[in-house]
Chain A
């Protein structure tokens, strides 16, 4: 059994008070294994994005615990959380979120330079070559296509060798060809570099690139699938959707 890179225990996240209370997460316990590519799926409103935000130290939790490695997040103050994000976590966002004034290379190196660390040139080259951006390094974001920008964002997430990379719908704003590039890059990073990646998606094809799919519905983990294919994921999703609708009394 591979060791656990991140873990949530009885995680709840509640918005609002009294009658208006909404349970985005209603007790989620999940282990993310090292060197695995995990997808989190679920219908809209299932809480998959909230789960990712909480596990990635971007949002605080109502009750329960989140561990990154051995570190329990709720015990950390803002400064420590900032350091944790900087050193242990990489992010890929749906809308690429690059700094427009910086070149591709500067964007990739941004987390390291904010931390005041020197990049490992061998690793940097390897990452750049893997994402295939060697000839675009001097360009600014507005001189690149959406797929290229997202690959820069992926490279940025990997370059500081984080313990875990969180990707939030990384292909949501891309055409299918560019999306496939990004997904196979993330796949390669897991396979070749042993990187741990968690990806939130609603796209069964995207999920088929992963090792393991965790299904969420109404703030709870409802199912899990290993070695998924697009078909098997779609099948489970359809079933899940039907069950959710039934369960809600329609």
Chain B
């Protein structure tokens, strides 16, 4: 029995490969996700391990996982550093000046890094990391000395186009907004690759001048243990010398803190990628079910012969399942290899976004192989189970008959189950939307509802497809005559097969449509709210929300023709465990430009006061007059709630006075500057002047209302296109499904094809017949998918209406484009099967059984 099965399998290599292809793609995605995130993880591990000291003295409350929009302004005095030099067990003590908010400007004037990996600035020391090796070594040139010298890591210098001796331009968020220094050395990081991060080194005095207003203070202190002293022992002896407000953390602890953040981010990325892998596999399941159903149908005479020769039902079922297992193993193996390729591709892709992993080899963990094989084989076996069971129902006597039809079970049961699942799904969607429940519960209900509707409609599709194909048949008949009728009849001939093929495409398109509707709704909501709220003429801001120097606002204020103007600084704090991004600003100046709707209390926020959005006030359970404790890394600040206002895109979730920045011990830096033209000034000319005033700072952009909305939309669209690209995989698999179904149908109908040719059908007519069938399948899947996608989009928009996506938009043009693309997919899918059918020799075709 085993030998018969394997013979069969290898006698049909092409079919085997076609059905394995869905598994290959799905598994490749799974393996690629794991390999890539493992590689990123290992790269970051090296960075972390290569950069932490045995013991780090830092400010208490330092939270590496906290929001990064604010820069801690607390420092360590030189006196404290001196006292730490006497720490028992410390081989060396290196005070450190860590600068954030500095960016290198490339030789061509553009920003280096930007939205990608960060730029980290330090005072240069040759201190070793916890690994014992120096954290950085100067590869070329020499260490920076004096205010006019800088050292960059070699890769970044190369990327920015600087060579030794060049003058490097840099911008900072501090009081020295522009720094020019000569590149005197190229550094190499001890931990290997930097994942695209940029390292900038000054001597200690220069770093203090740039980042700490020239005071002789430090941001942290690195202690290196003497031989034989453990990290814990050194940390303990350090603690005895520390003043209040400072803490000593072992290298292991700091590394663990950073790793947990990295792991969280990588976990998200991995999950994100695996979701698309899952979608691809679900779609692939349809393909496999179909392939095996057709293969079983075609081989029914042979299987009947096995039964007639004494094979039991179980043996027949097992034979088919064994075939599936072999397909699964081969598919998974190929998928695993392709996954490596995919991971390498992702590496390149991420490098273009600034996350350069070229210093790290791809990491392959045994777990990746185990998961890949498990997923590939289990999915194939599950998909083949139903066809395998049907194979066993073939009666032995069928071997003697000429024309064999597999016993078709009625689709009534399927329709009933499908209808029930759809009803349950709709009920879930409705109750998720209408009931006021916890957000997580709502999300789960809506998600479950969508899944149920998708499955239900897939089950119902043989029934739903009939009227659609009949209607399409009328069009076909009118336009293509008999060829059109034959194509329609062929599509209707095996409703399950057509439906399963179409369902694969349906799922991909339902998800694409859902995302399109959501994306369009988000964009429309942005437009509506920007039009309503964005009442300033110009907004100067950083594209990725990083703070910039307040000197920029100062120089804008000096421009003639500037009317009202307000600066805000994003200042995150925690209250009741939630992080709220407050806008620290002068509320009077803010109200002069923006007309916020204050729902209660005063529109002026003074020292020691705070205004909250209605949502945040509700979430925190406070009202005007209550006192709220704001938790910053440096400690807590109390503030009295003076008003509440409606959420708006132009301000954060709370408004606090600028004095809160100092109270929170955060460096003062602007997040955005809003500017109105004076009444009699040409706005366009003013815009040009603001541009000119900020031209040295590629960190900031000047936008008017339209540009601001466009920039916001661009972010949404970028994500949308990424999701399209990932869902494209599912579409490709679905298209392969059409190819597969048609190819196998052509084989199955060989004799019929021969007959049609014999009675005078030309090759072009025959190809058209097959093409029309493919287009019919593709359109069926697309129309069902788009219809469901619109429904899901509608539901999701309602579900998140409270989160700012207030307006529904359905991108009809794009949806029509999907249908057009599906038509093209159908046409392309038909190319090979049609060519094959047209090539059939008429005599042989008629003679074959």
Q: Which of B714-771 contact A (CB under 8 A)?
A: 751-752, 754-763, 765
A204 at the interface (CB under 8 A from B): no
A137 at the interface (CB under 8 A from B): no
Residue from the set A79, A95, A102 with the largest chain B CB neighbour count within 10 Å: A95
Number of B interface residues, CB 8 Å?
26
Segment at the interface with B among A16-24, A40-48, A80-88:
A80-88
Residue in chain A with minimal CB distance to B492: A101
B578 at the interface (CB under 8 A from A): no
Measured between alpha carbons, how far is A156 from B756 in the docked complex, in Å? Answer: 12
Segment at the interface with B among A111-119, A121-129, A190-198, A226-234:
A111-119
A76 at the interface (CB under 8 A from B): no
Q: Which of A93-109 contact B (CB under 8 A)?
A: 93, 95, 97-102, 106
Given the interface pairs A95-B402, A102-B489, the reply to whether A116 lies near B760 with Cβ below 8 Å is no
What string of 1s and 0s marks CB contacts (under 8 Å) between A61-96 and chain B? 000000000000000001100110111000101010
Query: Within 8 Å CB of A53, what residues of B?
Result: 843
Contact yes or no, B402 A78, CB < 8 A: no
Measured between alpha carbons, how far is A78 from B483 in the docked complex, in Å? Answer: 19
What string of 1s and 0s marks CB contacts (under 8 Å) between B389-428 and chain A? 0000000000000100000000000000000000000000
Given the interface pairs A58-B843, A82-B762, A101-B490, the reply to whether A110 lies near B482 with Cβ below 8 Å is yes
B498 CB to closest chain A CB (Å) equals 13
Measured between alpha carbons, how far is A86 from B486 in the docked complex, in Å? Answer: 17
Given the interface pairs A101-B493, A113-B482, the reply to whether A91 lies near B843 with Cβ below 8 Å is no
Given the interface pairs A95-B402, A99-B755, A100-B752, the reply to whether A83 lies near B760 with Cβ below 8 Å is yes
Interface of A is mostly: helix
Measured between alpha carbons, how far is A78 from B757 in the docked complex, in Å? Answer: 11
B782 CB to closest chain A CB (Å) equals 24
Query: Within 8 Å CB of A115, what residues of B?
Result: 760
A223 at the interface (CB under 8 A from B): no
Query: Within 8 Å CB of B492, what residues of A?
Result: 101
A10 at the interface (CB under 8 A from B): no
Measured between alpha carbons, how far is A156 from B754 in the docked complex, in Å? Answer: 16
B846 at the interface (CB under 8 A from A): yes
Given the interface pairs A58-B842, A58-B843, A99-B752, the reply to whether A85 lies near B483 with Cβ below 8 Å is no
A31 at the interface (CB under 8 A from B): no
A59 at the interface (CB under 8 A from B): yes
A91 CB to closest chain B CB (Å) equals 6
Measured between alpha carbons, how far is A59 from B760 in the docked complex, in Å? Answer: 14
Measured between alpha carbons, how far is A101 from B765 in the docked complex, in Å? Answer: 17
Query: Within 8 Å CB of B489, what residues of A?
Result: 101-102
Residue in chain A with minimal CB distance to B764: A79
Query: Within 8 Å CB of B485, what residues of A?
Result: 102, 106, 113
Measured between alpha carbons, how far is A73 from B842 in the docked complex, in Å? Answer: 16
Contact yes or no, B752 A111, CB < 8 A: no
B165 CB to closest chain A CB (Å) equals 75
Number of A interface residues, CB 8 Å?
27
Residue in chain A with minimal CB distance to B751: A97
Query: Within 8 Å CB of B760, what residues of A?
Result: 82-83, 85-87, 111, 114-115
Measured between alpha carbons, how far is A101 from B469 in the docked complex, in Å? Answer: 14
B67 at the interface (CB under 8 A from A): no
Given the interface pairs A58-B842, A97-B846, A114-B482, the reply to whether A79 lies near B762 with Cβ below 8 Å is yes
Measured between alpha carbons, how far is A82 from B846 in the docked complex, in Å? Answer: 15
Contact yes or no, B758 A58, CB < 8 A: yes
Query: Within 8 Å CB of A116, what residues of B?
Result: 481-482
Contact yes or no, A78 B482, CB < 8 A: no
What string of 1s and 0s marks CB contacts (under 8 Å) between B484-497 and chain A? 01100110110000
Query: Within 8 Å CB of B490, what residues of A?
Result: 101
Contact yes or no, A156 B759, CB < 8 A: yes
Query: Within 8 Å CB of B493, what residues of A?
Result: 100-101
Query: Within 8 Å CB of B482, what residues of A?
Result: 110, 113-114, 116
Contact yes or no, A114 B755, CB < 8 A: no
Measured between alpha carbons, how far is A114 from B483 in the docked complex, in Å? Answer: 7
Query: Within 8 Å CB of A99, what residues of B?
Result: 486, 752, 755-756
Contact yes or no, A91 B758, CB < 8 A: yes
B302 CB to closest chain A CB (Å) equals 19
Residue from the set A83, A101, A106 with the largest chain B CB neighbour count within 10 Å: A101
Given the interface pairs A87-B760, A99-B486, the reply to whether A113 lies near B843 with Cβ below 8 Å is no
22 A–B contacts from the bound complex (CB under 8 Å): A58-B843, A59-B843, A82-B762, A85-B758, A85-B759, A86-B759, A91-B758, A95-B402, A97-B751, A97-B754, A98-B755, A99-B486, A99-B755, A101-B492, A101-B493, A102-B486, A111-B760, A113-B481, A114-B761, A114-B765, A116-B481, A156-B759
Residues of B within 8 A of A (CB): 402, 481-483, 485-486, 489-490, 492-493, 751-752, 754-763, 765, 842-843, 846
17 more contacts with CB within 8 A, not counting A101-B492, A156-B759, are A58-B842, A79-B762, A83-B762, A85-B758, A86-B760, A86-B761, A91-B758, A91-B759, A100-B752, A101-B489, A102-B489, A110-B756, A113-B481, A114-B482, A114-B756, A115-B760, A116-B482
